């Protein structure tokens, strides 16, 4: 069968060609995605791409069957590339580097799948994975998929209560964990958290497999005498036998991923096997320009969707080499970490979050540490997770000497909604825009009544149904909640929750969450647009803008800025310059007068600024520290500056 993209006969070289390809994907999704499905190994080849018989629930490749783990590993070995590097583990925390070939990784996955099978895990069962950035995380995910079970990866270090909520919802047949994770200057103990979570979830009997790591206070011996079945990873593997991959219906679930920052009952995004394999395989070549043997470094975590899609599954489905990095962009040991990784592993594509880039820029504004490395292998920097401000984009592009390609997507979609398809054509890049809608995504900007708005007008970004393959099929255990959360606001559309606009060339500009739109004296303004202006100031490393209550104008914008390292401008002068910058760029209508210089902004572990939490504090609500926060002390230090009545 023919592969997707250029290999499927798509002649794409100009924006007009790409728009034609996109239009074809919307008008005839069966033809488009059946062609893309040719890049995947099927046990039963599908004859139908899209099943809309249960709309608004749509299913992809309903008559096909396959195994995702086989597609990520076995087929590359079978094709004679077993000696190629599949996974490079690089731990800046330990100073350890190890390379797994496709044959080695397949064999370890097959044996660990056997270990899970001996614990009773089978097709359709759930396995909760609570691991740091170590090879066992990748092995556990692929082993679960090999058995036809469903994995749910929880970011390592989540509090016991959050872990318990996911255990209650997913009802796993096994938990896979480790002694703990490593952060700069500290060890995070996992076993006590797992034990407490099992107690809170009233599930003490669930088997736990733990990978022992040196330097931690707790080991499974401390829990083996109690209720439950605690097993050492290495012992389980030593007595297990390799198992073959299990054929799965394309529509069977592959994984559950709970959205970060959920309150109350967690919201588990469900991804299927077939659509996921087809979509990610297609994106690796078409969007990222990565093929067999290429090296991709995605500086994220396997606990987030970027880690699922572009640390683990995407690169391995494409036959590429993926780098699993246990470390930080700064501080392990310094702001040259990305440069070292690029040089040592000959990385072709780097994918990271804007927050990481801003952290590097703040510590090393001249990028002397990154520039000290050989960056010649790098062809593209990709970014997602937060809006990429134009200042940071221009800076890192000049530093690395490669195109900086923003893309926009969500946990729910699993792959880019909007992207600049580097493997199909090098379309023009526009600062501040993730470019054009990806094939399969019909993006529409709607007003609050669900009507399309004119070009250049900001509104709610919605995706016309059906969503393409690889996106969420439902929420775990609750079709009704899926419908209510995403499909009810505008009939026939998936509501993204983000606001933005389309320009005359069809490029999408994502300005922020819809609740980041404020009303100043009747004028609707995007806080994201104000942030983009503030970020242009040469002293500003990063910033957040909130809408605070104002007795006269309803709301007013207030900016919170972090300065670049080594810069100590007069704060009054800086504030005046920033106010004038917003006034000249957006206009007096913004009525922007308030700027506060802060040491740091509170963020999730995935690097997103906790704007919603900041707004809640500013509204006078009780401070509830989110479980996803990276450093609670940052939020606590900022709280007095956010409370109603604080000097602005």
* Maximum average pLDDT range among 4-18, 199-213, 561-575, 618-632: 199-213
Distance CA 126, CA 151 (A): 6
Q: How far apart are CA 199 and CA 195, in angstroms?
A: 6
**Locate tokens 């389980």: which residue?**
236
Q: State whether 533 and 603 are in the same domain.
A: yes
* Residue 221 pLDDT class (50, 70, 90 cuts): confident
* Domain assignment present for 248: no
Residue 10 within any structural domain of the chain: yes
pLDDT band at 416 (very low <50, low <70, confident <90, very high): very high
Question: What pLDDT is attached to residue 583?
Answer: 82
pLDDT at 125: 98
pLDDT at 9 over 50: no
Q: What CATH number is attached to the domain comprising 555?
A: 3.30.300.30
pLDDT value, residue 3: 35
Sign of torsion, CA 116 120 124 129? negative
- One domain for residues 589 and 627: yes
Asked if the structure places residue 233 within a domain, the reply is no
Structure confidence at residue 6 as a pLDDT band (50, 70, 90) = very low
Within-domain flag for 238: no
Contact status, residue 383 vs residue 407, Cβ threshold 8 Å: yes
Helices (H), ranges, 49-134: 68-69, 75-76, 102-118
Helices then strands, counting H and E runs in the chain, come out as 22, 32
Mean pLDDT across 32-60: 97
The yes-or-no verdict on residue 2 having pLDDT over 70 is no
pLDDT tens digits, one per residue of 520-559: 655 557 787 788 889 889 999 999 998 887 766 667 888 9
Both 636 and 527 in a single domain? Answer: yes
| 200 domain residue, yes or no | no
Cβ neighbour number for residue 166 with a 10 Å cutoff = 25
Q: Categorize the per-residue pLDDT at 187 as very low, low, confident or very high, splitting at 50, 70 and 90.
A: very high
58, part of any domain? yes
Q: What is the mean pLDDT of the chain?
A: 91
User: Could you give the number of structural domains in the chain?
Assistant: 2
Q: Are residues 618 and 583 in the same domain?
A: yes
Cβ atoms 115, 240 nearer than 8 A:
yes
Q: Residues 383-405: what's their mean pLDDT?
A: 92
- Domain range enclosing 471: 5-65+415-510
Residues listed for the chain: 648
**By the 8 A CB rule, do 383 and 406 touch?**
yes
Domain presence at residue 387: no
Residue 349 in any domain: the answer is no
Write down the pTM of the prediction. 0.85
- Which H helix or E strand runs over 585? helix 571-585
Q: Which of 2-16, 100-114, 144-158, 515-529 has the lowest mean pLDDT?
A: 2-16
Tokens of 325: 């990095």
Same domain, 550 and 616: yes
């Amino acid at each position: 069968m023919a592969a997707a993209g250029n290999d499927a006969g798509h002649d794409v070289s100009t924006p007009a060609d790409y728009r034609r390809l996109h239009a074809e994907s919307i008008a005839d999704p069966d033809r488009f995605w059946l062609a893309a499905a040719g890049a995947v190994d099927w046990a039963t080849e599908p004859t139908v791409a899209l099943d809309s018989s249960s709309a608004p629930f749509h299913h992809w490749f309903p008559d096909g069957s396959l195994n995702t783990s086989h597609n990520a590993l076995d087929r590359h070995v079978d094709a004679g590339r077993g000696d190629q590097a599949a996974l490079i583990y690089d731990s800046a925390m330990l100073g350890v580097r190890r390379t797994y070939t496709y044959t080695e990784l397949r064999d370890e996955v097959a044996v660990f799948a056997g270990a899970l099978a001996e614990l009773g895990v089978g097709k359709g069962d759930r396995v909760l994975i609570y691991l740091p950035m170590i090879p066992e995380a990748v092995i556990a995910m692929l082993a679960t998929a090999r058995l036809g079970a469903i994995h749910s990866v929880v970011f390592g270090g989540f509090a016991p209560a959050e872990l318990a909520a996911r255990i209650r919802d997913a009802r796993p047949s096994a938990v896979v964990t480790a002694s703990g994770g490593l952060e700069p200057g500290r060890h995070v103990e996992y076993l006590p958290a797992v034990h407490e979570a099992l107690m809170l979830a009233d599930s003490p009997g669930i088997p736990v497999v733990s990978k022992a790591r040196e330097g931690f206070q707790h080991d499974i011996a401390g829990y083996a005498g109690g209720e439950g079945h605690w097993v050492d990873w290495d012992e389980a593997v030593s007595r297990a036998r390799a198992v073959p991959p299990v054929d799965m219906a394309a529509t069977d679930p592959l994984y559950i991923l709970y959205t970060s920052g959920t309150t109350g009952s967690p919201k588990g995004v469900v991804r299927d096997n077939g659509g996921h394999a087809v979509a990610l395989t297609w994106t690796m070549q078409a969007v990222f320009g990565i093929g067999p043997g290429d090296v991709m470094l995605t500086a994220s975590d396997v606990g987030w969707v970027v880690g699922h899609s572009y640390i683990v599954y995407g690169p391995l489905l494409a036959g590429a080499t993926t780098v699993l990095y246990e470390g930080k962009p700064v501080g392990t040991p310094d702001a040259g970490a990305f440069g070292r990784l690029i040089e040592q592993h000959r990385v072709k594509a780097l994918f990271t979050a804007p927050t990481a880039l801003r952290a590097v820029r703040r510590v090393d504004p001249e990028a002397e540490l990154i520039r000290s490395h050989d960056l010649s292998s790098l062809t593209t920097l990709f970014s997602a997770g937060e809006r990429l401000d134009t200042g940071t984009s221009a800076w890192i592009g000049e530093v690395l000497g490669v195109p900086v390609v923003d893309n926009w997507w969500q946990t729910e979609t699993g792959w880019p909604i909007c992207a600049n398809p580097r493997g199909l054509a090098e379309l023009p890049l526009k600062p501040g825009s993730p470019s054009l809608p990806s094939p399969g995504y019909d993006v529409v900007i709607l007003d609050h009544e669900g009507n399309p708005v004119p070009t250049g007008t900001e509104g709610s970004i919605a995706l016309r149904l059906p969503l393409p393959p690889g996106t969420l099929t439902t929420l775990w255990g609750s079709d009704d909640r899926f419908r209510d959360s995403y499909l009810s606001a505008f009939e026939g559309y998936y509501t993204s929750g983000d606001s933005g606009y389309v320009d005359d060339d069809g490029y999408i500009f994502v300005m922020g969450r819809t609740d980041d739109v404020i009303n100043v004296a009747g004028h609707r303004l995007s806080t994201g647009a104000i942030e983009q202006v503030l970020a242009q100031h040469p002293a500003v490393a990063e910033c957040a803008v909130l809408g605070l209550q104002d007795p006269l104008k309803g709301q007013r914008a207030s900016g919170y800025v972090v300065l670049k390292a080594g810069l100590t401008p007069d704060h009054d002068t800086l504030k005046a310059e920033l106010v004038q910058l917003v006034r000249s760029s957006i206009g007096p209508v913004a009525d922007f007068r308030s700027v506060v210089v802060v040491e740091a902004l509170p963020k999730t572990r995935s690097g997103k600024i906790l704007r919603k939490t900041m707004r809640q504090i500013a509204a006078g609500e009780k401070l509830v520290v989110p479980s996803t926060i990276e450093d609670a002390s940052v939020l606590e230090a900022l709280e007095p500056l956010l409370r109603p009545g604080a000097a602005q």
